[in-house]
Chains A and B, each alone.
Chain A
Amino acid sequence: MLHTSEINLATKKKKKKLFTRADISGWLLIAPSFILMCVLILRPQIMGMVWSTFEMKGFQVVKFVGLDNFKRVLTNTDFLQTFINTWEYLGWSLVIGLLPPFIIAIVMNEMAVFRKTIRTLVYFPGIMPAVAVSVLWAFIYQPNVSGMLNAILAKFGVEPYGWLQDGRFTILYIIISMTWSGMAGTAIYYFAGLQGVNNELYEAAMIDGAGFFTRLRVVVIPYMLPMLLVFAARQCIGVFQVVDQPLQMTGGGPNNASMSMGLLSYNYAFVNYRPQLAMVVNVITFCVIMIFTLIYNHVDKRASENM
């Protein structure tokens, strides 16, 4: 960090031009990504935000209606529950989904034998096609005795349980299945990151008398923290926009217990052909995530320093 700031200072002192040559070459490298971002992400988003205030026929603008679309979405009797559900998704994913991939990556890294095999197996759920995964979990959560989990319960003499049908915990079970297939990739990312830790640091900590967990705390966690934060943020955002899993596993049921903002938006756009209402949901989702991010950035000064 120190070095870079010195370089920056040095270049600043040299020339007082608006853009130095270094700036230009820096921007040239950013340009392709920047252009794609503007055209493929920002452009449709801005269009969408505008659309959320229009009456539309498919994706053709009909007339400006101000906040009518917002009123329609917000007064929908399912909206509040959907909004709360979405936070529930987030909550469970923080409880269930955040640490396991990191822990598994660390454990993988400690293993002395079969490292290759272990790595391949851990990663395997990550390449399972979504079709196969949804069939798989439908079987696992099958509420009658033939379901995998209920079959195990039966071995202990426990009555079969409804799993996804238990509206109180439907979201939890969906998150568990998401974690099963999602953590494979994340664990491999973390594992790759762990390879960057210099082994001498462990040795040094050891000489200081640090045990295994202390070594993890003083060496691994500080090194991995930036990566963890990026993944955590991405996971939160991803979960906040979850569509596919409730769509495939429960259709949002029972009685809307697993309806998410993402699924609501999907239904508005593709089932009811009302993209303007879908955009309203997206705008609301975006605002929530935005507020969330601002708070997060405020609290975590490290993140803002890295900017």
Chain B
Amino acid sequence: MKKDDFSNRINNGALRPMDMKGAKGRVTYGILSVVMLLHLLIVCIPVVWMIMLCFKEPAEIYSKTPTFFPKSIDLGKIAGLWNQLEIYRYYLNTLIVAVGCVIFDVGISGLAGYSLSRLKPKGSRVYFVLVSITMLLPATTAMVPNYMLYKDLGLLNSYIPLWLIAGMNMFHVLLFKSSFDGLPLSIIEAAKIDGASDIKIFLKIVIPMSMPVVVTCSIFTFNGAFGDFFWPYLLITDPEKTVMGVRLFEIKNSNLSMDKQMVAALFTLLPQAIIFILFQKQIMGGINIGGVKG
């Protein structure tokens, strides 16, 4: 009875509940599980090791005979640093930057991808080719001219350049395009016949149906913005506006010891982890569900 329950849950991918009735299917699932487990080990061991670093003394970290577990685990150290560094003050700034980046990214890249996929205006091929080309360009020297431009536009100490940079994610344009390419046309056609405008179709039909790609792109942009250091460091000198990535860099260059720097690094990835866990459902949401519920 219990076994049947389990078999029924194997319905997410190419393996179907039916397979679990035969030995071949079970072996396949077993092998896949082992692969998964191995991968998780490869991923987790170093991460756990990194967390352990937070609790070690500097000399323990660089010891010739490193141990996996620290000599003692002192949570007070983490709490103390949280208060000393006043990390929470930088969370809000970073949140503003990151949310703005997501909006610019999804807004600008999403619309462009939609237009490329569905509307295909005359000449958009030129744009598409340019998008593809720009993805090929090395970016090393673009930084200085762009910085000078932001300065001339009076955008120093403002988050706007950071949002604009997030908005020119050519990779996401292509990603949105290919995702929209895969949408069932019938629903859009039906809406068109009902006289819905392009914008309305985009907002009411395309976006809800493309939630997985929207959420995925958003999360990546959010995380990118949360950890980003380079442009904020260059553009924002006002201490009131400092973001986490810059803070982490400053901490790295300060006289804090390595273990404490690791704690600071953990503070940086905490919000990202939380956001990811919260929005998992949307990634899982799937195009099918969206399509059925319309």
Is B287 on the interface with A (CB-CB < 8 A)? yes
Find chain A residues with CB under 8 A from B119 CB.
22-23, 25-26, 29
Q: Are B170 and A129 in contact (CB under 8 A)?
A: no
Complex Cα distance, B166 from A240, in Å, reads 22
Q: Are B141 and A275 in contact (CB under 8 A)?
A: yes
Q: Which residue of B lies closest to A216 (CB)?
A: B14
Complex Cα distance, B143 from A278, in Å, reads 12
Q: Are B216 and A116 in contact (CB under 8 A)?
A: no
Task: State which of A40, A188, A219 has its C-beta within 8 Å of the C-beta of B164.
Answer: A40
Task: State which of A36, A132, A198 has its C-beta within 8 Å of the C-beta of B167.
Answer: A36
Is B92 on the interface with A (CB-CB < 8 A)? no
Per-position contact with A for B103-135: 1 when CB-CB < 8 Å, else 0?
000011101101110111111110111111111
Q: Are A3 and B50 in contact (CB under 8 A)?
A: no
Q: Are B216 and A188 in contact (CB under 8 A)?
A: yes
Complex Cα distance, B19 from A266, in Å, reads 54
Find chain A residues with CB under 8 A from B10 CB.
110, 112
Q: How large is the interface on B (under 10, 10 to 19, 20 to 34, 35 or more residues)?
A: 35 or more
Is A295 on the interface with B (CB-CB < 8 A)? no
Q: Which residue of B lies closest to A105 (CB)?
A: B13
Interface members, chain A 121-179 (any B CB < 8 Å): 121-132, 135-136, 139-140, 144-146, 148
Q: Are B272 and A127 in contact (CB under 8 A)?
A: yes
Per-position contact with A for B85-116: 1 when CB-CB < 8 Å, else 0?
00000000000000000000001110110111
Is B237 on the interface with A (CB-CB < 8 A)? no
Complex Cα distance, B182 from A194, in Å, reads 12
Q: Are A279 and B128 in contact (CB under 8 A)?
A: no
Complex Cα distance, B216 from A227, in Å, reads 14
Find chain B residues with CB under 8 A from A110 CB.
10, 12-15, 29, 32
Q: Are B112 and A34 in contact (CB under 8 A)?
A: yes
Find chain B residues with CB under 8 A from A184 CB.
43
Per-position contact with B for A272-307: 1 when CB-CB < 8 Å, else 0?
000100110110011001100100000000000011
Is B178 on the interface with A (CB-CB < 8 A)? yes
Q: Are A215 and B248 in contact (CB under 8 A)?
A: no
Find chain B residues with CB under 8 A from A307 CB.
125, 128-129
Find chain A residues with CB under 8 A from B124 CB.
26-27, 30
Q: Which residue of B lies closest to A20 (CB)?
A: B122
Q: Are A192 and B216 in contact (CB under 8 A)?
A: yes
* Contact residues of B: prevailing secondary structure: helix
Tell me the minimal C-beta distance from A261 to chain B in angstroms.
Answer: 8
Q: Are B47 and A230 in contact (CB under 8 A)?
A: no
Q: Are A30 and B14 in contact (CB under 8 A)?
A: no
A36-B108, A110-B13, A129-B265 known; A278 vs B121 contact (CB < 8 Å): no
Q: How large is the interface on A (under 10, 10 to 19, 20 to 34, 35 or more residues)?
A: 35 or more
Q: Are A32 and B112 in contact (CB under 8 A)?
A: yes
Complex Cα distance, B124 from A227, in Å, reads 21
Find chain B residues with CB under 8 A from A30 CB.
111-112, 115-116, 121, 124, 127
Q: Which of A44, A184, A191 has the most CB of B within 10 A?
A: A44
Is A92 on the interface with B (CB-CB < 8 A)? no
Complex Cα distance, B35 from A104, in Å, reads 8
Q: Are A266 and B140 in contact (CB under 8 A)?
A: yes
Q: Are A196 and B286 in contact (CB under 8 A)?
A: yes
Q: Are B128 and A199 in contact (CB under 8 A)?
A: no
Complex Cα distance, B60 from A184, in Å, reads 30
Complex Cα distance, B77 from A45, in Å, reads 48
Is B208 on the interface with A (CB-CB < 8 A)? no
Q: Are B130 and A42 in contact (CB under 8 A)?
A: yes
Is A206 on the interface with B (CB-CB < 8 A)? yes
Is B223 on the interface with A (CB-CB < 8 A)? yes
Q: Which of B35, B46, B148 has the most CB of A within 10 A?
A: B46
Tell me the minimal C-beta distance from B263 to chain A in angstroms.
Answer: 11
Tell me the minimal C-beta distance from A219 to chain B in angstroms.
Answer: 7
Find chain B residues with CB under 8 A from A198 CB.
288
Q: Which residue of B lies closest to A214 (CB)?
A: B14
Is B175 on the interface with A (CB-CB < 8 A)? yes
Q: Are B227 and A129 in contact (CB under 8 A)?
A: yes
Q: Which residue of B lies closest to A34 (CB)?
A: B127
Complex Cα distance, B131 from A43, in Å, reads 14
Q: What are 28 A-B interface contacts by the 8 Å CB criterion? A: A3-B185, A26-B115, A26-B121, A27-B123, A29-B115, A32-B112, A37-B170, A40-B168, A41-B170, A42-B130, A45-B137, A103-B35, A106-B13, A107-B35, A110-B10, A110-B29, A111-B12, A127-B273, A144-B64, A145-B64, A184-B43, A188-B283, A195-B287, A202-B14, A203-B16, A206-B19, A227-B175, A282-B140
Assuming A129-B268, A136-B50, what are 9 further A-B pairs, CB within 8 angstroms? A32-B112, A34-B130, A48-B145, A119-B283, A122-B43, A180-B42, A189-B216, A195-B288, A234-B171
The 5 closest A-B pairs by CB, nearest first: A26-B121, A26-B119, A33-B112, A44-B142, A23-B121
> What residues of chain A have their CB less than 8 Å away from a CB belonging to chain B?
3-4, 8, 18-20, 22-27, 29-30, 32-34, 36-37, 39-45, 47-48, 51, 59, 103-104, 106-113, 115-116, 118-132, 135-136, 139-140, 144-146, 148, 180, 184-185, 188-189, 191-199, 202-203, 206, 211-212, 215-216, 219-220, 223, 226-227, 230, 233-234, 237, 241, 243, 261-262, 265-266, 269, 275, 278-279, 281-282, 285-286, 289-290, 293, 306-307
